[in-house]
Amino acid sequence: MTHNLAQCLHIVRKAAMAGARALFLPEASDYIASTSSETVSLAKPTTASPFVLGLQNAAKENRLPINVGIHEPAQNGQKVKNTLVWIDEEGKVTQRYQKIHLFDVDIEGGPVLRESNSVEKGERILPPFETGVGRVGMTICFDVCEALSCLTGPTLSQYREQRYRICGELLRFPEISLALARQKAQIITYPSAFTVPTGKAHWSTLLRARAIESQSYVVAAAQVGAHNEKRRSYGHSMIVSPWGDVVVELGGEIKEEPEIAVADIDLGMAERIKKEMPLLRRTDIYPEV
């Protein structure tokens, strides 16, 4: 966590120098553990987490709001919450979203993946909230690699192809982004730690689809590179416009120092798209999300 905090503080300074009005960091920016027990043991409340406290101080010092994915303890230390928090320019945690979709699956003849063994699921969609860059709706990109350490049964290496085939599912649930768009979100977050095989196949496509159907900006801050012998993340952080254009994208390799992507958010353009291409849903035929 000390190393991750140092990396994040470096990013905060770069973002502030670049004139950013908000900083979006990836899912699980505090740590990615090798086992579920390690994940649980490392989790600390925000009020006692050196990682969160460090970012709160940095947000206040730089007058820069920070959106960051962290772990929090749950159920008396038996599980963790996969959480996304908003730290405002005063350094206060003002918004908190807990990941809703967990990955539980029995693969016939293969492993049993139970993310719910160590992660407590969220129970609600957080309404969008006003910020200095627009009305933000928060989600967390689901990746089955959070559940790899919950494996029971045969060894995971025997089922590498199955693992690759089922990685990266939250972006496949458009309901949250549609619900946030209905509540007038202008920016929707998808912080992630996406695996490389599914990242190559689906990352950009899914992000662009979520932006187009919600007519909102999508900001997807993504972890990149190897975390341990079990984990490697795809990277390719990107910002997508409400028209589906990739406004800016980072790469998939670790650099000597952390990179940032800076882009202007044109909320007027977003409103024009909604006006010129209204999405009038037939809620008399299917339920409103």
Which residues are part of the catalytic machinery?
27, 99, 141
Q: Read off the amino acid at residue 14.
A: K
* Contacts made by residues 259-268, CB under 8 angstroms, sequence distance 24+: 260/11, 260/14, 260/15, 260/18, 260/20, 260/23, 261/237, 262/15, 262/18, 262/19, 262/20, 263/239, 265/133, 265/134, 265/186, 265/187, 265/217, 266/241, 267/134, 267/186
Closest by CA to 25, choosing from 59, 63, 67, 64, is 67
Q: Where are the beta strands (DSSP E) in 88-221?
A: 93-98, 104-106, 112-114, 119-120, 129-131, 134-138, 187-189, 217-220
